Structure 1
């Protein structure tokens, strides 16, 4: 009996995708199954993952619009030559689905010169290289005659909701847009007994998780992001007195995704070949002040320091989460690519 219990307790969980579909560019659906779980674990995991999927994953939205031409006095104004009111245009811009590796905000432009009559869609928006429009057929406005139209759009990546006042406008004449930073549209989960009809075990369960997204990421990508968000939240509790991160009595070490440029520069670390990095300081990476200050407090002053730091080194840094580490990796890689292109070495 004790041997059977030991085998049972060490049984590894399995998960798989059991069905999926893509209705259109803005609706992805996938169903996952996780098993075997002890009684009660399925409900714990289902409710926790549902909250993380709906509330913790970031999305990219248009959050402000500035009409650079035309006399737009208020949100309910109309523009000569456009069928929709300014309010309707703002509502259509709110629905545009974007995906990006953006940190902070950036600008995009919708500029038409002497065009019309025609339909204006998301395809007419000029976005930065790191922002992609998921469905370029999304409607924005209808031109009833040939006019010039110039709108500057502010794009931001965040999570949750931001509800603006219906009459809120900024000193420069731009208008705020309600932002729904929610790439996951819906999450449902169900719990079933584990085993065949004749061999069902009342103590084991299967968790079935249904996820639908807006197309800016797939349900599988959303599940991955939500899982890392939860790990990021609980990692502080895994620090031991020796400031190492371990699970299950130091038998399994928590690892983070490898920075994809580490292998490319391993020869510089192993053979100490001359490189420009010891003279490159992290203020050149244009990191947010909070992340910059965290690195400075830990004596990580240069790009060379960052390249030689391990995952555990980063996880020991106080107030630095997984998303912050990803941003450091992104900034590092961009900086190194720029150095290569400039022919520094």
Structure 2
């Protein structure tokens, strides 16, 4: 009876999106609340998520530009108003969104006279320009502007060495930071003879990600930071079962609520489960990306996956049984 009363009085924190606003193509705003929280929890969560939002969320930038027959970034092309340096600075301002990793290529091939903007960039389907109106150059004669671009997805800042430019290839400083600013505030109130808190979180992005997407990615990154602690084994006095660099995922979930299991499983990706390369590749090809996806597969379903042998299926089912996830794959 006492346990039931405690479970009723302690409510699970709920995240709510209070406001989403697009002030311009390069300025998106989101306001969120998380409550109820116990005293001190709001500051712990707010401080951590703010740091991750500002430093760990990935963005996409142009990192190199190649111009034919140009040797120096302060060169001037007859027929173009801007210097090479000014064109590079304009390229740096372009906000991009990419759904894939790795190097991607873009290009500009324009015959003047013309005002060249971001809309004139030819890009692969996986890359999108957020604001097509960004000015690049003004061509006032009948000449051709040819620029090859390299595009990367990353995080943080890259300050390029201008001395590294060669053969007309110019490195561009990159700021892979779609989150422009983050604010959080805390409101305390009394509830049933204890102080509880509401965390208010404000996020501004440049449009490369929406505030909701940025918050999701930051939350996932924060979980990833703490996974090594969850994976580690307890070290005994005699040194047995010491912490190892090659620990398999072994977190028992029997004591966790069903809702928390679902959320947790959605955040765990199969490349974090230390399966063999063969199992990992087979699961990825079958569009199984998370622990939650995997838990929905029965033994029969797994046996149908191409190149996934019986021994591998046994290994997967044994893993699911060890972490005690109730799923078709665990049923006999």
What are the residue-to-residue correspondences of 1:5-16 with 2, within 5 Å?
6-7=6-7, 10-16=10-16
- Structure 1 residue 101, shift from structure 2 partner: 1.2
Number of the residue aligned with 2:324: none
Number of the residue aligned with 1:81: 79
Structure 1 residues 174 and 48, CA, compared in 2 at 3 Å: closer, same or farther?
same
What are the residue-to-residue correspondences of 1:24-173 with 2, within 5 Å?
24-68=24-68, 71-113=69-111, 115-116=112-113, 118-170=114-166, 172-173=167-168
- Whether the aligned pair in 1 keeps the contact of 2:62 and 2:151 (CA below 8 Å) is yes
- Structure 1 residue 29, shift from structure 2 partner: 0.6
- Whether the aligned pair in 2 keeps the contact of 1:300 and 1:306 (CA below 8 Å) is no
- Whether the aligned pair in 2 keeps the contact of 1:99 and 1:133 (CA below 8 Å) is yes
- Whether the aligned pair in 2 keeps the contact of 1:27 and 1:213 (CA below 8 Å) is yes
Bigger drift between 89-98 and 1-10 goes to 1-10
- Whether the aligned pair in 2 keeps the contact of 1:162 and 1:178 (CA below 8 Å) is yes
Structure 1 residues 66 and 243, CA, compared in 2 at 3 Å: closer, same or farther?
closer
- Measure, in 2, the Cα distance between the counterparts of 1:201 and 1:146: 78
Unaligned runs of 5+ in 1: 260-290, 316-345
Deviations 1:285-315 (A, max 9, x none): xxxxxx8xx87x5443864785397844999
User: Does residue 192 of the first structure (1) align with residue 187 of the second (2)?
Assistant: yes
- Measure, in 2, the Cα distance between the counterparts of 1:63 and 1:46: 32
Structure 1 residues 309 and 111, CA, compared in 2 at 3 Å: closer, same or farther?
closer
What are the residue-to-residue correspondences of 1:171-320 with 2, within 5 Å?
172-194=167-189, 203-239=195-231, 243-247=249-253, 249-251=255-257, 252-253=260-261, 254-256=264-266, 297-300=276-279, 303=282, 307=286, 311-312=290-291
- Whether the aligned pair in 2 keeps the contact of 1:194 and 1:204 (CA below 8 Å) is yes
- Whether the aligned pair in 2 keeps the contact of 1:42 and 1:207 (CA below 8 Å) is yes
Secondary structure (helix, strand or coil) at the match of 2:42 reads: helix
- Measure, in 2, the Cα distance between the counterparts of 1:97 and 1:305: 31
Secondary structure (helix, strand or coil) at the match of 2:164 reads: coil
Q: Please tell me the root mean square deviation across aligned C-alpha atoms, in Å.
A: 3.1
Bigger drift between 104-113 and 148-157 goes to 104-113
Deviations 1:119-148 (A, max 9, x none): 110000000011001111111111122211
* TM-score (norm: length of structure 2): 0.73
- Structure 1 residue 201, shift from structure 2 partner: 6.5
Structure 1 residues 235 and 135, CA, compared in 2 at 3 Å: closer, same or farther?
same
- Measure, in 2, the Cα distance between the counterparts of 1:15 and 1:304: 32
* TM-score (norm: length of structure 1): 0.71
Structure 1 residues 186 and 74, CA, compared in 2 at 3 Å: closer, same or farther?
same
- Measure, in 1, the Cα distance between the counterparts of 2:142 and 2:130: 28
- Whether the aligned pair in 1 keeps the contact of 2:60 and 2:154 (CA below 8 Å) is yes
- Structure 1 residue 47, shift from structure 2 partner: 0.7
Deviations 1:46-89 (A, max 9, x none): 01000111111111100000002xx4221111111111111111
Unaligned runs of 5+ in 2: 234-247, 295-332
Bigger drift between 219-228 and 241-250 goes to 241-250
- Structure 1 residue 244, shift from structure 2 partner: 3.2
- Whether the aligned pair in 2 keeps the contact of 1:238 and 1:247 (CA below 8 Å) is no
Secondary structure (helix, strand or coil) at the match of 1:15 reads: strand
Structure 1 residues 314 and 178, CA, compared in 2 at 3 Å: closer, same or farther?
farther
* Residue-pair matches, total: 273
